[in-house]
Amino acid sequence: MTLRSPSPADSLAPRTTEVSRPDKPEEACGVFGVYAPTEEVATLAYFGLFALQHRGQESAGIATFDQGKLHSYKHMGLVSQVFDDGKLKTLPGEYAIGHTRYSTTGSSHLANAQPAIAPTKLGEIAIAHNGNVVNAAILKTELHDSGYDFVSTADTEMIAYAMAEAVDAGQGWIQGAISAFKRCQGAFSLVIGTPAGIIGARDPHGIRPLVLGILGDEPSQSGGPANYVLSSETCGLDIIGAHYVRDIQPGELVWITESGITSMQWDATAERKLCVFEMIYFSRPDSVVNEETLYTYRIRLGEELARESPADVDLVMAVPDSGVPAAIGFSKASHIPYAEGLIKNRYVGRTFIQPTQSMREVGIRVKLNPLKDVLNGQRVLIVDDSIVRGTTSYKIVKALREAGATEVHMRISSPPVTHPCFFGIDTDNQEQLIAANLSVEEIAEKIGVDSLAYLSWEGMLKTTHQDPNSFCSACFTGDYPVDIPDPYKRSKLKFETSVPSTAATV
């Protein structure tokens, strides 16, 4: 068996080149689904993915179902580059699922773009997946032995074939999906299109987010079933005017059809372990978690950081845009004025154009440029949400000093990232994580700041105002909520070190 294959030229398209790789953890993807028979569902999916663009910028795809027949289109690039009015008009249907991708499992080629499509005896299915299946190698071997051939290297295709195998063995859509889920270990928030309706589901730990919304002012349209929406974040609901209903729970499956929505707990042992980096950085600040926007949580992070690690400086500034709420919080708690010291070019995306060597030598400032009249003669404290490799931090500090800052202090609104993620976040292996190799004092020296301090692990969790045990924070502690197969684990955990003191200051 094979999935429908892209053209060889497209499948061999290279990863688009960046001026420099962000010194941040990078998200895997965003998923979206909409059941709205009276609406243009492909257009709704387009806008939902547009709102989720921050979660992945490599490829985008939409699959629609028109009276059970699947239509799909996917390609490399941003959502606005992949789709236009003409392409959306080729995607008719009563419901749609969509995906925007950053690759973690599987390289950056069109063959790995989602949704993944698989044939079954009951019709084709399409799957959009956010997360990472850590036993993918084992699952691929099992499915290959069952006669399945793969056109991609992404774990999503393995989930699709596992479900197809169950359906072809006589199981219905829901039971077939559950059978596939039970074969998967790791993180998966899924939106699955079938000829009969849409499935939304999360892994037993709910590591990656997924929310449910209703489209329209009333619970139902014209006396019929409600128009439902599934999205990685609430910002995907807001953009199309949908109303947030609730989170899909860890280990839960929802089934959306013309009859309405039903829910079941497919894993009775579920225990929430939401990725805490969703709170700190990944999710958009206007997305809602625990009945408040993440902007509000991130301000509290900055306030706690100011209490833990004060500094005698003239102004507080942020690395835009992700560091802004925490910097505002730091300023609020410390009573030190907040100012914009760096201006971000918000139109910078991925580009094929490389700067010349001479541009690199003088320090090309494509994304961030300092305000010299704000910084000159000032003792500056700059706030960011994380340091992964330290490369960008060094360049920013250098630019601030060249702009006239007399002192540069840095505060980070999360603990040191000492361990890689195996659940859908690209955080490199330990050899590339600066905090796994160096102490806080050594990092400060390497990036050229006068002082450096991280938020404590306890402070990060306390400010969530939620049960601290309900989060995965393995990138800070090495305490993974799911057992990682040894070969996969060894590929990233090159060595182990004790976690540095999270509140240390130079």
Catalytic residues: 29
> Which residues have C-beta within 8 Å of that of residue 356, sequence separation ≥ 6?
none
Retrieve residue 120's tokens. Answer: 């079954």
Give which of 384, 394, 450, 454 is closest to 418, Cα–Cα: 454
Query: How far from 420 is each of 435, 492, 496, CA to CA, in Å?
Result: 11, 6, 11
Q: Distance (Å, rounded) from C-alpha 471 to C-alpha 274?
A: 5
Q: Give yes or no for a contact between 419 and 476, defined as CB atoms under 8 angstroms apart.
A: yes
Q: Give yes or no for a contact between 323 and 384, defined as CB atoms under 8 angstroms apart.
A: yes
Give which of 248, 203, 252 is closest to 230, Cα–Cα: 248
Task: DSSP letter for 232, please.
Answer: S
Give which of 503, 388, 399, 377 is closest to 448, Cα–Cα: 399
Q: What are phi and psi of 148, to 5 degrees?
A: -90, 130
Q: Give yes or no for a contact between 177 and 161, defined as CB atoms under 8 angstroms apart.
A: no
Query: How far from 168 is each of 122, 172, 182, CA to CA, in Å?
Result: 8, 9, 17
Q: Give yes or no for a contact between 71 and 53, defined as CB atoms under 8 angstroms apart.
A: no
Indicate the length of the chain as a whole number: 506
The number of helices, as runs of H, and strands, as runs of E, in the chain is 19, 25
Q: Distance (Å, rounded) from C-alpha 457 to C-alpha 412?
A: 12
> Which residues have C-beta within 8 Å of that of residue 47, sequence separation ≥ 6?
239, 240
Bridge partners (DSSP) of residue 226 are none
Task: DSSP letter for 54, please.
Answer: G
Helix, strand, or coil (residue 207)? coil
Q: Distance (Å, rounded) from C-alpha 427 to C-alpha 416?
A: 12
The residue ranges of DSSP E strands in 310-469, in sequence order, are 315-318, 342-344, 368-370, 379-384, 407-412, 425-426, 451-454
State the angle between helix axes of 155-168 and 173-181 in degrees (0 to 180), rounded to the nearest 10.
130
Q: Give yes or no for a contact between 75 and 110, defined as CB atoms under 8 angstroms apart.
A: yes
Q: Give yes or no for a contact between 389 and 23, defined as CB atoms under 8 angstroms apart.
A: yes
Bridge partners (DSSP) of residue 30 are 100
